[in-house]
Amino acid sequence: MAKKVKVYELTTNGHGGFSKWMVKGIKDDTEARKVALKGFGKEYYSHNLISYYDDYPSKYGNDWSKALTIKEFIKLARRQYKY
């Protein structure tokens, strides 16, 4: 069985609506805050909108294989929030 990694939900309310990003490979809440800040930038970051969501592979049957890795999230979020 593969090693379990955590999946976090990183949410921002930038650009006129909430946007949720599922990111796998984050170790803990502290790292999740740093990753979200790096991706969203100060303007769209909120520490209240970050939460541990599940594990990958999930014991609940969720398929997180297409969830973003940390590097993918930062690259896409920076492109979208352009800071």
Domain extent for 57: 5-81
- Asked if 59 and 7 count as a contact pair (C-beta separation under 8 A), the reply is no
pLDDT at 5 over 60: yes
Alpha-carbon distances, residue 30 vs 1, 6, 8, 63 (angstroms): 27, 13, 12, 25
Please report which confidence band the pLDDT of residue 79 belongs to, taking 50, 70 and 90 as the band edges: very high
Number of structural domains (the chain) is 1
Would the pLDDT of 2 be above 90?
no
Alpha carbon distance 7, 23 (integer Å): 6
Average pLDDT (16-25) is: 91
pLDDT digits (tens, 9 = 90+) for 48-66: 999 999 999 999 999 999 9
Average pLDDT, the chain: 92
Question: What pLDDT is recorded for position 3?
Answer: 85
